[in-house]
Amino acid sequence: MIPHTPAVPEARISGDLNGTITAWNAGATEMFGFSAGEAIGRNYDLLTTTNGPILHREALEQLLAGKGSSEVRTRWRRNDGRVAEVSLTHSPRFDADGVLIGSSTIARDVTAVAQLQDEAGKERERLIEAQEMAHVGSAEYDFSSGRWWHSEEFGRLLDLTTGEKVSVSMLLEKIHPQDRDGVRTDWHSLDRAGSRHLDRELRLIQPTGDVRWILASVRVTGTGARTRVLITALDITARKLAEAVLTHQASHDALTGLPNRILINTILHDLLGRKASSVVVFFLDVDRFKTVNDAVGHAAGDAILTQLAARLRPAIRPGDTVGRFGGDEFIVICKNLHATEATAVAERLRAAVKEDFTLGGRRIFLNISIGIAPAGPGDTAETILDAADMAMYQAKNAGGDRIAVRDSRTQAAATARLNLESDLRLALDRNELRLHYQPVIDIKTGMPVGLEAFLRWEHPTLGLLQPASFISLAEDSGLIVPIGSWVLNQALQQTQHWRNTLPGAKDLTIFVNVSVRQLQDLRFVDTVRDALCTTGISPAAVTLEITESVLMDQRELPTAIVQGLHACGVGLAIDDFGTGYSSLSQLRWLSAHTLKIDRSFVSELGYKDPSSASIIQLILGMARVLNLSVIAEGVETPAQLNELRRLGVRHAQGYLWSTPLPAHEIPKQLQAHAPEPPPRNAQPRKLPRRSDR
């Protein structure tokens, strides 16, 4: 490919015998930046970087000597101070009588050309140096005579002795057996098939048994009786060794030397692609290895993992693979292993770890959990690894130091859970979340005095979902924080609308459930404060519910958050009270306003066993001491209601009055009086149990 040469502009300049410029064209203005008025009448010193008049006289002397026009390369200045490489061609100027009166000069800017030439020269020098350092050998073969010629470097590469007769068969003997057939095919194509050039990487066997890699380039020149083969040979052994090292590093774990995740996936893809029989994957994880790291340090932990890797290798068959998946996780891949034999292999792996690990005189004992996944129809490397990983976590959840085998039902449930979590991440943006409300009833008057908000999810394919099917997903994924913020704002906004628009609803209160993840969020107080400000509802009308079991699990809730909620003026309620056995000190520290008696105690009221009534009496006594209000949850029958009246409970909620209703049905419910309970001998109506929290 011929490099593009930039167009060279021309400037035409005339001068007299003294070197004074007498003519100046537009090209000169463009090239040097001086106008004709600025240049004419000035000396060539205007342009030259050396003595202009002397150079001009030298050019004139050459012209006077009869040498005709001359061309020189020099450097001339531009008006902006930059210097240009120029090519000058001088021609004599004569008057009408043939007397020399000066010269005419054509100046060409060759700066770009000079740069290209300079770069080409440097490139040529680099190429020469590279050839000298590369030790490229060359050889020539004449097809008509069968004669060979080769350079000294070619002989060195092929370990030829001086004067040794060269032949095709002799050269083939020096080539690695695995490469010979390919070289024979290449040579045949040159001799008979008419190929003109070939390039091949091949291996040569040295007398010491070492292998040397050669890049051979073959070119055919001439035709007929003059056909010759030109061969160049370059030693690429160092490059091949470096490539092998890089390939190994890319596919093997730096700490243990075992195959890493990349190679594990490659091996599985290959086995499953070839439909290798009875492939089984084992996923190993060290139980509580973080504790070991914390106790002995990460460097010592790495040393233990190295020892562990060395123990796992002998526990498997020679053709099987053990690799490090990451951290303290290892993978074993077995082929031609029946599923019934997999447990025995897993037991051998566990046994290999049971013996103590010695580190600096210290004895450390480890256990491992193992998940087993035999490959099934349609499995890919990704799905079988996921299945083994899932089985391993099943073993861990059972207490660790166990073996678990892939369970298709468990895997299907996990897949469904993952899909549901993905959908939940989009539920807010898609406006799929809904709030239903259940009235809190004043037992004496039968009138609703408050509402509890319940979250629902209008799933596009699964229909209306209860919280039990997705709240744990929201908790685990952290989505509960934005979802909880939406619930709070929506519930407060809707309640304030009813307080402002419905007759008799101006004192209506709202109960909103709060997740422990929300209580741990340092921005939660700001979220509550913003919701109160945005909706304009009175803080006294808002109660946040915390489940008692959550309170027991989180004994050290951030004090700043609890204090911040009190500063906002909202109330706090302990939900499902009686199941977690909160202490009086906890209730006083939390400064809760309301206790909501768990439905499990309410459901037993009216039967001969008086224990539930006794527990409720204890709760009521505690509430009186702490000046707390009490709400009974889950009231479903008139008998339960009557018993609550007898015990002195003032407020309740449950299916006896209403299920949680969508917002558009609440106005009618709020304005209707609660129905009078039927006579004692009436048959109680059957109501569905709920599990919506």
User: How many whole angstroms separate alpha carbon 82 and alpha carbon 80?
Assistant: 6
Helix, coil or strand: residue 33: coil
Residues 310-323, mean pLDDT to the nearest whole number? 91
Output the pLDDT for position 675.
Answer: 44
User: How many whole angstroms separate alpha carbon 543 and alpha carbon 558?
Assistant: 19
Output the pLDDT for position 156.
Answer: 83
Tens digits of per-residue pLDDT, 471-507?
A: 888 888 889 999 999 999 999 999 999 999 998 899 9
Cross-sheet strand order for the sheet of 368-374: 321-326, 329-334, 280-286, 368-374, 403-405
- The three-state DSSP-derived secondary structure of 592-609 is CCEEEECHHHHCCCCCCC
Answer yes or no: are the C-beta atoms of 508 and 546 closer than 8 Å: no
Asked if residue 87 has pLDDT above 50, the reply is yes
Least reliable range by pLDDT among 45-49, 523-527, 553-557, 667-671: 553-557
pTM (2 decimals)?
0.51
CA separation, residue 99 to residues 84, 90, 94, 102 (Å): 33, 17, 5, 9
Q: 90-116 burial, b for 16+ CB within 10 Å, e for fewer?
A: bebbeeeeeeeebbbbbbbbbeeebee
Tens digits of per-residue pLDDT, 208-253?
A: 888 889 888 888 887 665 678 888 888 888 888 888 888 788 888 8
Asked if residue 113 has pLDDT above 80, the reply is no
Q: Is the dihedral of CA 531, 534, 535, 538 positive or negative?
A: positive
Asked if residue 515 has pLDDT above 70, the reply is yes
CB atoms within 10 A of CB 145: 9
What residues contact 205, with CB distance under 8 A and at least 6 apart? Answer: 174, 175, 176, 211
Tens digits of per-residue pLDDT, 422-472?
A: 899 999 889 999 999 999 999 998 899 999 999 999 999 999 999 988 988
Helix, coil or strand: residue 56: helix
Tens digits of per-residue pLDDT, 586-600?
A: 666 667 889 998 888
Residues 91-116, mean pLDDT to the nearest whole number? 82
Let me know how long the chain is: 693
